[in-house]
Amino acid sequence: MTIGTYRTVKVEKEDGIGWLYMNRPEKRNAMNPQMHFDMDAVLPEIEGDPEIGAVILTGAGEAFCAGQDLREYFRGLDGDPMGRRRAGEASERWRNRRLAGFNKPTIAMVNGYCIGGGFTQMLCCDFAIAADEAVFGLSEVNWGILPGGLVSKKLTDTLLFRHAMYYACTGRTLDGKRAAEIGLVNESYPRDRLKEETVALARELMEKNQEVLRATKHAIRAVRTMNDDQAFDYLAAKGAEIKQRDRENAYANGIKQFLDDKSYKPTFGAYDREQAIRDNQAAE
């Protein structure tokens, strides 16, 4: 499947991974309105592409994302309420809806600066892996706004209250190692290992049964705002949904491979999906 070409966004496909680049390296991948429109359009294309099993979102060049474009997104739209609305809606939609609700695993690979509004897409990905040398910062307090959109919300959903308050109110920067210590990202690695470690995580995720993984990632995100009764009900419904959608029959094959074939232990990795498909065919 061919994915369209976009002005501010680049997609490369490699061994089942969709590499999605914010692509304005000369502006440190600051998000202008065009980038929001491009992202809003490309994400459904990637989601529907059968050649892509996982997405890695990263920045072209030396930065991940320098936040909203102060020239084009802020000053440029100050006198243009309709333009602001259109860009604002696209800005929220591609990150808080499309990315956060994506049906395939998503990993933010934070290669350099991740500033202000750039936190949102990093936090909307299921996972984040940073270079030790990456620089994170909530600069808003330093220039006259607060971490708006949904930055403050996503931040406090992710971090302990004390850390969220501290970094939002001081604007102090932190590197990848510190980001991993406080749980802002999953892991941090020296820059020369960043790509291989991020790809290793993507591969591990792609080995899982994709319906089970999809339901699990949506559930982990969704139950955070539910009470126990709601969560119990929701998880039961998601479990039933897996049975309905899963053509590989993970449940029966996983148990068979452990109990009967003794060919794997669920504690240490995914069941053999190829074997499961062969067994399903033999049973038909």
Q: Which neighbouring-strand residues pair with 253?
A: none
Cα radius of gyration rounded to whole Å, the chain: 20
Closest contact distance (angstroms) between CB of 104 and ligand COA is 27
Q: Which is nearer to ligand COA, 91 or 210 (CB)?
A: 91
Closest contact distance (angstroms) between CB of 158 and ligand COA is 18
Q: Which residues bind ligand COA (CB under 6 A)?
A: 27-28, 30, 66-71, 113, 115-117, 139-140
Q: Which is nearer to ligand COA, 21 or 113 (CB)?
A: 113
Q: Which is nearer to ligand COA, 30 or 212 (CB)?
A: 30
Q: Which neighbouring-strand residues pair with 94?
A: none
Distance CA 66, CA 117 (A): 8
Distance CA 10, CA 57 (A): 10
Q: Which is nearer to ligand COA, 70 or 277 (CB)?
A: 70
Question: What is the CB-side half-sphere exposure of residue 8 using CA atoms within 13 A?
Answer: 19
Closest contact distance (angstroms) between CB of 139 and ligand COA is 3
Closest contact distance (angstroms) between CB of 171 and ligand COA is 9
Distance CA 116, CA 124 (A): 14
Q: Is 122:64 a contact under the CB 8 Å cutoff?
A: yes
Tokens of 230: 């709601």
Q: Which is nearer to ligand COA, 21 or 271 (CB)?
A: 21
Closest contact distance (angstroms) between CB of 28 and ligand COA is 4
